[in-house]
Structure 1
Amino acid sequence: MKNIKILSLLFLTVLLLNACKKDKTEEPVPTGPSTTVVTNISGMVMDTWGYPIQGVTVTCGTQTRTTDYNGTYSFLGLTVPKDRCILKFEKASYYTVSRAVMPKSGSYTQTEITLIPYSWTNSSSASFASSSAYTMYLGSTGCEIDFPANAWINEGSGLTYSGDVTVYAAFLDPTDMNYGKYAPGGLMIGKTTATDEVMIQPYTGLIVEVFGTSGEKLNLDPNAKANATVRFQIPTNMQANAPADIELWDFDMTAGVAGAGGSAAKQGDKYVGEVIHFSSWTCENICTGLPAIINGKVTDGTNPIAGVPMVVGSSIVYTDINGNFSQKVPAGINVPVGIKPGYLGNTQNPLFIGPLTNEEVYQIPSDFVLTTISYITGQLVNCTGTPVQGNVIFNSYSQMSSSPTDATGHFSIPVSTSMMYGYLIAHGNTTTTEQYINIMSLPYDAGQITLCPPIPTGPNQITFNGTLYNSFTENSSEVYMGNMTSIYLYDPITYDHIQLQLNGITTGTYTIDTANVYVNGTVGGSTSGTHFESAAGGTITVTKFNPVGGLIEGTFTAVCRLTGYSYTGKFSVVRGQDIRK
């Protein structure tokens, strides 16, 4: 059995480089038949500081979702290719990321994505005239890009572009243990020009996005035949063993893996190559032989822990309900394996495993152990109380963690022992629900969480000072403190929102008193919109008040105590899980 040692990052990074060779005669990675499976994909999107990002557009095939204010999303009952499915994550002021995941048939596939903001430490921006050649220096990262003159097109229309050009570019450093959270692809697999799929190892990379004066996406004009020259900085710990020549790769949205797109030559501490378009480009070496498999387990010292994000090479994988994880890796190299840095306060150094032989299956002999944690437990059931399977996410805004359920709907989410409150977001039974919890003590039992299939709602609207607003597409409601009802209507595009509160849980008319009964919010956009608060004397009329999973509907009439404007509206929302105090 191979010895596993916890070594210094400097020494291990050097070890990581020794076995990948530039050789296109290696055996291809075998792939399965191109069939489909039905799966459920549930996940979180966070920024580089670990906070959830709301309003991210997530695309899988022809279907689209938008992350909620907990940064979560789900695709339920989704038919995808058996081998891998491709997710695309987009939001203004963040770099777009595409990620391939291996779907679990009939089960839940967990994901965790980090979107890099344009303001990130390793990100830079520049503006110049399209008629001029320009060299962009990426701050202290050491990367440089030479842009050609008169070589731009509007990516959407394909028409030649003339005007100012704005570029955002970020350095992707594979020695960063968080690389697998934000790098494109995620599977350590590439497709060569000969269509063979191979295992690859990253050395450096850039992600680049280009815009015109009206915010339109730009790219290099293929008809101009003027490529851009990119000088990629090689991380210090990788320079000594970096090969003289290396392949350039971008992400192939069709194949779901990195696609070979040229080569770069080592010049000093940089790789220099030419690119024909801009997206993400990485310098990665092809690893010879067939892939090996690394298996491992995470426990709290006694019990297995589900849903733990594990860094394996440049990929992120999750432990299953039994605390186990498994990942294909290139043979012949040393692979870092460890709990994701910062997860529930984790500061453990990674193990470096290998080199492994072709098709070797290696079981890590010692479990990874997370200490000073506790659990939030519960069970998912449908409207009739029958257990259902799913995935449950806990968000405290300072920490996020998740866990799949077992076959009986039970879940056990690991949390730090300092947790006091947060949201539980449950995905299952073709629907999603959330509830706010106050954690008086740990471990915390959330009880049964009811997941009822979605039912039609609407309309949800407000007419404020004569103007109608009716784009409230993300809406929720819950009963708390036993007899208080909260209703929230939200427009994720404009950020308009309405908050209604009632001091009751039945149908009837409630008189607004500004303390226990009110209709407050903002309309007209987040920057130039109008904030309103209801004056005493208006009414909220509830015409339907059903149990959890059913509808709460009604109307309201009020006058804004700030402006004197009158407003009326309608609400129709699904009653969410009651908040337990």
Structure 2
Amino acid sequence: MKKLLLPFACIVLGLLSSCDPNDDASTPSTPSTFEQNFGSMVSRDFIGQIVNVSNQPIGNATVTVGDLSVQTDASGVFIINGASVHEKFAYVTAGKTGYIDGSRSLVPNIGKNSVRIMLLDGTVTQTVTSGQPSEVSISSGTKVNFDGSFEDENGAAYNGMVGVYVFHLTASNPDIASLMPGMLYAETETGNEAVLKTFGMLNVELRGSGGQKLQIASGHTAQITMRIDDNQLATAPQSIPLWHFDADKGWWIEDGTATRQGNNYIGNVSHFSWWNCDTFASTVNLTVTVHDARKVGLELGGFQQVNARRGRAEHIEKLLRGGL
């Protein structure tokens, strides 16, 4: 982590100006301890495509990087130049009515950063009624059990029909790199960086009768049962950390534990977004130079390599131009 050393005089002037009660200027937000891993703010360019689960382009989707937003064209393509991102972390979001919001996180390069996001169809899996226990399951055996208590985004109790959307993303899914949110990069419960190895992800979204977003009521939990991939049964541990994806920040956060019961992982969650059953390892920074056949350094986009079979993200922090 690089630290910027400011001249003492500038610090004093900054302190004096901050003491002025008539100063209406907003105070710049201070990065969290974890965000300090991402380095300084820089300007980067992005190009990419938004598609559906059939690999068909999605036009008129809204794509946002930093404080810049654009609409995709008829081919699902977008271009965003000069977005303000961290030098070691960029977060791209995409959304359109009728689809579940998608995202991608990456370490941005100086050149064009290529991004591909696959959006899930937002069709409701099952409808349940508030005030009574219910279970929503899908064909894989993955399921969610509710106690019947729900609330809206303002924290007010919700009564009525609840549309439940459930999607189970397995580690063996060939489209895992395009479907999953962010990347397999996380913050542990102790605030450290981690690279995840997934044993399956679950996305659950709740909607009220008017289409409004809902959540599990404060003080209540839901039980998730996630089927373990057949090709992971031999290696799946008895207990595994649970991680939820923070859609505002763009990375996973350790949040509880799931226990293996037979061929399933079972855990309790207090809210819904994406949930992930993962083991983890510490991060490694790797700097490489990529040459073509003529030994000319290549300029490549921000890179996150995901081995879908192993479910492990390997982050290449810098792709340099020219030979070293």
> Is 1:291 aligned with 2:295?
no
Q: Which residue of 1 aligns with 2:69?
A: 64
Q: Which residue of 2 aligns with 1:201?
A: 197
Q: CA deviation at 1:323?
A: 8.3
Instruction: Give the superposed CA RMSD.
Output: 3.4
Question: Distance between the aligned counterparts of 2:118 and 2:226, measured in 1?
Answer: 22
Q: Which residue of 1 aligns with 2:88?
A: 83
Quick one: structure 1 residues 227 and 321, their matched pair in 2 at CA, closer, same or farther if it must change by over 3 Å?
farther
1:185–1:257 contact (8 Å) kept in structure 2: yes
Residue 275 of structure 1 aligns with an amino acid whose one-letter code is V
Q: CA deviation at 1:32?
A: 4.2
Larger radius of gyration: 1
Q: CA deviation at 1:293?
A: 4.8
Q: Which residue of 1 aligns with 2:3?
A: none
Question: Distance between the aligned counterparts of 2:44 and 2:300, measured in 1?
Answer: 20
Paired residues, number: 284
Superposition map of 1:84-163 within 5 A: 84-105=89-110, 107-118=111-122, 125-138=125-138, 140-149=139-148, 151-155=149-153, 157-163=154-160
1:95–1:207 contact (8 Å) kept in structure 2: no
2:43–2:82 contact (8 Å) kept in structure 1: yes
Q: CA deviation at 1:117?
A: 1.4
What is the aligned counterpart of 1:53 among 58, 67, 77? Answer: 58
Q: CA deviation at 1:218?
A: 0.6
Question: Distance between the aligned counterparts of 2:316 and 2:44, measured in 1?
Answer: 29
Q: Which residue of 2 aligns with 1:273?
A: 267
Question: Distance between the aligned counterparts of 1:81 and 1:292, measured in 2?
Answer: 16
Show CA shifts across 1:5-43 (max 9, x none): xxxxxxxxxxxxxxxxxxxxxxxx997463111111111
1:133–1:148 contact (8 Å) kept in structure 2: yes
Question: Distance between the aligned counterparts of 2:141 and 2:225, measured in 1?
Answer: 8
What is the aligned counterpart of 2:168 among 148, 167, 171? Answer: 171
Superposition map of 1:343-492 within 5 A: none
Q: CA deviation at 1:228?
A: 0.3
Question: Distance between the aligned counterparts of 1:292 and 1:83, measured in 2?
Answer: 10
Contiguous gaps of at least 5 residues in structure 2: 1-33
> TM-score when scaled to structure 1?
0.44
Q: CA deviation at 1:137?
A: 0.9
- Determine which structure has greater relative contact order: mean sequence separation of CA pairs < 8 Å that are 6+ residues apart, divided by chain length: 2
Show CA shifts across 1:213-253 (max 9, x none): 1110111121xx11000001110000111011111112234
Residue 146 of structure 1 aligns with an amino acid whose one-letter code is N
Question: Distance between the aligned counterparts of 2:86 and 2:35, measured in 1?
Answer: 16
Question: Distance between the aligned counterparts of 1:326 and 1:103, measured in 2?
Answer: 4
Residue 144 of structure 1 aligns with an amino acid whose one-letter code is K
Residue 272 of structure 1 aligns with an amino acid whose one-letter code is I
- Identity rate, percent: 24
Question: Distance between the aligned counterparts of 2:287 and 2:108, measured in 1?
Answer: 19
Q: CA deviation at 1:255?
A: 4.3
Question: Distance between the aligned counterparts of 1:176 and 1:294, measured in 2?
Answer: 29
Show CA shifts across 1:365-405 (max 9, x none): xxxxxxxxxxxxxxxxxxxxxxxxxxxxxxxxxxxxxxxxx
1:245–1:264 contact (8 Å) kept in structure 2: yes
Q: CA deviation at 1:98?
A: 2.6
The residue matched to 1:180 in structure 2 has which SS? Answer: helix
Quick one: structure 1 residues 200 and 130, their matched pair in 2 at CA, closer, same or farther if it must change by over 3 Å?
same
The residue matched to 1:199 in structure 2 has which SS? Answer: strand
2:66–2:84 contact (8 Å) kept in structure 1: no
Question: Distance between the aligned counterparts of 1:63 and 1:327, measured in 2?
Answer: 21
Question: Distance between the aligned counterparts of 1:324 and 1:75, measured in 2?
Answer: 16
Q: CA deviation at 1:118?
A: 3.5
Q: Which residue of 2 aligns with 1:215?
A: 211
Quick one: structure 1 residues 152 and 232, their matched pair in 2 at CA, closer, same or farther if it must change by over 3 Å?
same
Quick one: structure 1 residues 118 and 254, their matched pair in 2 at CA, closer, same or farther if it must change by over 3 Å?
closer
Q: Which residue of 2 aligns with 1:450?
A: none
2:233–2:263 contact (8 Å) kept in structure 1: yes
Residue 173 of structure 1 aligns with an amino acid whose one-letter code is T
2:118–2:179 contact (8 Å) kept in structure 1: yes
Show CA shifts across 1:487-523 (max 9, x none): xxxxxxxxxxxxxxxxxxxxxxxxxxxxxxxxxxxxx
Q: CA deviation at 1:182?
A: 0.6
Question: Distance between the aligned counterparts of 1:291 and 1:243, measured in 2?
Answer: 24
Q: Which residue of 2 aligns with 1:473?
A: none
> TM-score when scaled to structure 2?
0.77
Q: CA deviation at 1:273?
A: 0.3
The residue matched to 1:54 in structure 2 has which SS? Answer: coil
2:238–2:259 contact (8 Å) kept in structure 1: yes
2:106–2:302 contact (8 Å) kept in structure 1: no
Question: Distance between the aligned counterparts of 1:177 and 1:164, measured in 2?
Answer: 35
1:297–1:325 contact (8 Å) kept in structure 2: no
